[in-house]
Amino acid sequence: MTTTTVPAQIADFAHRVRAALSDLPAEEVDELTDGLEADLTESFAEDLRRELPDPAAYADELRTAAGFPRAEETTRRRLSPAEAWTDLVSRVGGSPAGSAVLDFLEAVRPVWWVLRGLVVAGWLIILSGRGGAPVPGTAGEWTLTVLLVVASVQWSRARSRGTWWRRALVGANLVTALAFFPLVGEVASQTVSWDEIDAADYSTGSLVLDGEPVTNVFAYDAQGNPIQDVQLFDQDGDPLTAEAPQYSDCLDADCTTSGALTSRALENGRVAWNVFPLRSVEWAPDEWGVESPVVGAPTRAVEPPLLKVPAVAPLAPAPSAEPMAPPEVAQNNR
């Protein structure tokens, strides 16, 4: 007898053992299992054993005795997300820098819990459709925010109640983290910046030229001579008002009197800031010591910056051209 037929069971067993070792280099597998069939045939024949052992266990014993790591360690089986995460964390934590970072993150974890509550509150405010910045404004919104923050903190502090709880927490964390950035963007866009506030002061209904307030307007006729008492309106019929002065200034070179530009009275009794050029009136400390316009004091004309300006070229005569109709009779300061 030159060959022994290997029983089918043994062949199958050997095949399974090799499969269990398949993560190892092929060379090694061959070396380990070289005499496998022969040894098994012999032992099977000799032994009273009737059953072959579990191939996986056999392979495991074989590889550990040979000094190889066990199957679970080398096969990159599809780790569940939880396992993959834990694996990553432990590897990062292995390095000194990594573990320092992890320690820091662990320390600021409660900050995240608070932040999470704020993000949820902010989004609820946005969804409620009240407009404005997604930060609590009303008492109700403040209460809601506080409740959400407390709930968020308590949720994380609770002893884990099993995988459902933990998964829900992970899911909530992911969603909140994603929702965080658009929320910040929303807050930023709604919050008025200092630049905007500065600009706003000048832009509320007063004349501004290149960012600088226009305090007075001087008009000249077609010949280039200064004219008085001009009432100005814009294309919508709104008065072009100059900004009312806040402080007084010197009215003459010696500063013997101080004052500021003042409004004009209209015949209908209204006060107008769009009748140019504005005249000045004296300011003096009132009964509280605060400088303010002297009631009833005579107004003085303000020197125009230019005594005369170039004349305007006459229009070319147009055949039966109708001038554009001015808007309806304007009402001052409506």
Partner 1 sequence: MDATQLLKGVLDLAVLAVVEKEDGYGYDVVRRLRAAGLEEVGEASVYGTLRRLYSAGALTSYVVPSEEGPHRKYYGMNDQGRATLAAQRKVWADFTATMEHVLTGEAA
Binding partner 1 (rule: CB under 8 A), the pick from 9, 19, 26, 38 is 38
Whether the CA torsion 326, 331, 332, 334 is positive or negative: it is negative
Binding string, residues 18-37; x marks residues near partner 1 by CB under 8 A? -------------xx-xxxx
Q: How would you class 321 by CB atoms within 10 Å of its CB: exposed for 0-12, middle for 13-18, buried for 19 or more?
A: exposed
Q: Which is nearer to partner 1, 60 or 186 (CB)?
A: 60
Q: Are strands 212-213 and 208-209 parallel, antiparallel or unpaired?
A: antiparallel
Residue choice 12, 42, 83, 286 for contact with partner 1 (CB under 8 A): 42
Q: Is 4 in the site for partner 1 (CB under 8 A)?
A: yes
Our CB check for partner 1 shows the closer of 68 and 273 to be: 68
Which of 2/246 has CB closer to partner 1? 2
Among 2-10, 179-187, 215-223, 269-277, the segment contacting partner 1 (CB under 8 A)? 2-10
The yes or no reply on residue 59 touching partner 1 (CB under 8 A) is yes
Structure tokens at 218: 């001087």
First-last CA distance in the chain = 122
Give the 3-state secondary structure of residue 68: coil
**Candidate residues 9, 43, 75, 228; the one interacting with partner 1 per rule CB under 8 A:** 43
Residues 203-242 that bind partner 1 (CB under 8 A): none
- Nearer CB in complex with partner 1: 70/130: 70
Q: How far is the CB of 16 from partner 1 (least distance, A)?
A: 13
In terms of CB distance, is 64 or 90 closer to partner 1? 64
| Separation CA 31–CA 43 (nearest Å) | 19
Per-residue buried b or exposed e for 183-198, using 16+ beta carbons within 10 Å of the residue's own CB: beebeeeeeeeeeeee
d(CA 38, CA 48): 17
Contact 130, 186 (CB under 8 A): no
Q: How far is the CB of 72 from partner 1 (least distance, A)?
A: 17
* Residue 56 sits in the site that holds partner 1 (CB under 8 A): no
Give me the half-sphere count of Cα atoms (radius 13 Å) on the Cβ side of residue 123: 15
Provide the binding-site residues for partner 1, judged by CB under 8 A: 1-4, 31-32, 34-39, 41-43, 46, 58-59, 61-67
